[in-house]
Structure 1
């Protein structure tokens, strides 16, 4: 029973499933509701809505309008929206007043002048490679950027009301509305045209997943609707009868989808252009390019029941069953063939992690089994160290690393560049391995990495380690930030380091920013140096540029001008009130 100083709320998904409920002290902020929601799906980001109004994490609970009810809607953001590094060639900044400022390549979202009057009350911005879509507090959507890539939504504008989530493919968008209907726009071949399945998208949709060129929507009744490029999973007609009910999760690889059903069976589909092969038992039907996971016929009898989780990398899938067995399919050189380690995957698997072309399974006894491309799939050289006590596995593009719980090596964090790893040990030491030219060889700075390291940040080819005394140690490709000697006297009192693809930016305790690495990719901030002498609280980067938010809400940018490093065209709009940059 809630007291007068408490407020009772229910956090409910679009499907009607109650994520959390209880009484919260009215003096708290709504970030307590966000924390409760995320406990249900660790690692996933979400939005909370009261009616169609966005609830920000900073809103006092007491400020919520209880006349709208105590049911709070939880909208889960797709993994691509929540986790991806910006792949756009522009930036979009949300200000505290709900306005948006953009810069970068004009044709890819850097110029939003045509829709500027509409960019008010914005609560979320979603971007693909060519355009942006902003959700406003009233549930309307504003788009800009490359018209064919989703920047022009005029054809569906009357339908874009009551929107609670936007998901992207490479060149299109799909919006879920509060009534469970879906609206799509952008490149028709990439999922922007859903007219062929429109009658199925008028109600009941609870989640949409996008890959490079297709979408898959789960409905409240457990059915799945797909559209977009047939070669990427947009055509699921061959398995349509198996997708009419019971689907609880959809997972994608680069060009295929896999759906887990409530009975533990799996349905997969993918590149229909490259032919078809389906099993005859009706439980798992697959077709298309086997090298991308669309053909699971070879393991179909193993996927008829008991599957509890499916993991995908760029070219294959791995499924964990309730009995701890692991089943794999797809490109045999990318992890789809686990025959060599099959006796070790018959029981006890509790988690699977992948890099681009290999998998690693953690078993209940703490051992690890790996397979796939030899870069990450062959762990024979360290096999004796992977027999027990592993609690986490981390992957980069080409390799895998495991953290153990037994304290034998005392690793507490692992960070990756594109081709190397750096591990922080409990005593503050750092150990590195992998491609020497990408940070795998830290021997040149080894004496500086023997103690006191509290954070390691990696970009594509180098690492930067922050020590407890505020100093920074760098190694790896010198051109991309592995050599910080030119700014070494300035790297004191550092509290945070951010990397983009080719450079680093460090924030100091006094709010100053220091940069190094590829000058054209953000390593040279001399042009804006007077603006970076104090007050910086956050730095974010895309591939070749940086944007720093200052305590007064101002934004300072540098790096490749065409990719957002030059924000002079919108400078007056970036002088105050910025709360987020994406």
Structure 2
């Protein structure tokens, strides 16, 4: 079922929205991928605004009949579909990547592509051979300048690509260097000390927020740029406990000494045996190689270790959260940076709780983070930080004592409701994000923006 603006009352849901394999959406429409052909003609059906992707062109339907879609990707007002044979078709608003230019189409037709990622207004396709191509709004990553293409090609092609709301960051196949393009306000230009981290390469973690990127190398060097650039990124640059974002004038702590040195020291504890794997004190390999050529999509948000440990990098609209856990989910290291009000700082209580607990799950809203943890014999505790209920987010627990007590134990899963950021840079507006907790008894607790009373306990 679907409801809301642009959903017609007479839509044939039983006929066109059944046998569903996956559902995709942009700002104004939905696309359904079916397990079997609908009416022997359609792998995909749409609902919503026709000019924003709900109306799939007949020629695309025809091309897909004998070349089954594997996945659909969305910008704000357009879609692209990747088929099992590696072909790509786009539709929707041309300014948002809904029309593939002839030269791009020719490039795609001569190659088998394997992965697509998207900013708010542009698409990027690439494959395991290192080929890469973009289309859509050039101001939001829809075109790559020749120098950036040369930098990628000279290092073996692209390994993987990460997207913010308005820019792309590619990690190269060879030395695992980072390059970026797109809207500068969204991280399209690597700046400050992040330039040297990106150029040295050996990047093992890369993640985007709404307007910025973070990269971390095997040596533990961290680079951060975009809307939260100009942070101290090397030990020689660490002269103050905090820095000011020169573009916005914000006094928020972006990266302080404890964050930079903490990451550096933790990564140093994994002694490198060669260019690919670190070892621990016993001589056993600790980190599986994350630098070999691999078939996309390659996740740069997580590094799995040979012992079962894992480093995971999370983000929301303006902050980042890094956690390392052993195979039993026990925390080995934890830190955060970025917008302080939006979860970029762990206060003492939060840091202590996470450091001493088993962290089972991490979710984020636009301006907050939430963790599901086990602490000693108490299972299923919810820990949150960032923008509070008073700020229309879920970074504080409900104030109602009865509802709050339900989050102190026996929670089995967390889900987040994250609202779509605007496609043109402006100060963040946190409108209606929320977190839902599933309790052991099958009921739910939801809290955050536009939740009646700030929080509710839902039964049945």
In which range does the TM-score fall when normalised by the shorter chain?
Answer: 0.5 to 0.7
Distance 1:282 1:220, change over 3 A: farther
**Which position in structure 2 is the counterpart of 1:248?**
204
Per-residue CA distance 1:288-321 (angstroms, 9 max, x = gap): 6686999324532223242622221122112224
RMSD: 4.1
Secondary structure, in 3 states, of the residue corresponding to 1:306? helix
Distance 1:330 1:345, change over 3 A: farther
**Which position in structure 2 is the counterpart of 1:353?**
363
**Which position in structure 2 is the counterpart of 1:461?**
none
Cα deviation, residue 84, structure 1: 6.8
Larger displacement relative to structure 2 (236-245 or 113-122): 113-122
8 Å CA contact retained: 1:420, 1:438: no
**Which position in structure 2 is the counterpart of 1:411?**
none
Cα deviation, residue 192, structure 1: 0.5
1:132 and 2:79 correspond:
yes
Mapped to 2, the partners of 1:280 and 1:388 lie a distance apart of 41
Secondary structure, in 3 states, of the residue corresponding to 1:324? strand
Secondary structure, in 3 states, of the residue corresponding to 2:114? strand
Which of 337, 342, 354 is residue 345 of structure 2 equivalent to? Answer: 337
Mapped to 1, the partners of 2:25 and 2:251 lie a distance apart of 23
- Say how many residue pairs are matched: 343
8 Å CA contact retained: 1:263, 1:306: no
Q: Which runs of 5+ in 2 are unaligned?
A: 1-21, 268-310, 326-330, 420-431
After superposition, where does 1:146-295 map in structure 2 within 5 Å?
A: 146-154=93-101, 155-160=103-108, 161-195=111-145, 196-202=147-153, 203-221=156-174, 222-238=176-192, 239-243=194-198, 244-271=200-227, 276-281=230-235, 295=254
Cα deviation, residue 248, structure 1: 2.0
Distance 1:282 1:167, change over 3 A: farther
Q: Which of these two proteins has the greater Rg computed from alpha carbons?
A: 1
Mapped to 1, the partners of 2:43 and 2:443 lie a distance apart of 45
Which of 319, 325, 336 is residue 322 of structure 2 equivalent to? Answer: 319
1:89 and 2:97 correspond:
no
Mapped to 2, the partners of 1:283 and 1:84 lie a distance apart of 44
Using the size of structure 2 for normalisation, the TM-score is: 0.62
Secondary structure, in 3 states, of the residue corresponding to 1:335? helix
Cα deviation, residue 114, structure 1: 7.2
8 Å CA contact retained: 1:270, 1:294: no
Distance 1:122 1:172, change over 3 A: farther
Secondary structure, in 3 states, of the residue corresponding to 1:200? helix
Mapped to 1, the partners of 2:384 and 2:169 lie a distance apart of 30
Distance 1:300 1:208, change over 3 A: same
Cα deviation, residue 261, structure 1: 2.5
Using the size of structure 1 for normalisation, the TM-score is: 0.50
Distance 1:360 1:113, change over 3 A: closer
Which of 290, 294, 302 is residue 262 of structure 2 equivalent to? Answer: 302
Per-residue CA distance 1:6-31 (angstroms, 9 max, x = gap): xxxxxxxxxxxxxxxxxxxxxxxxxx
Distance 1:93 1:242, change over 3 A: same
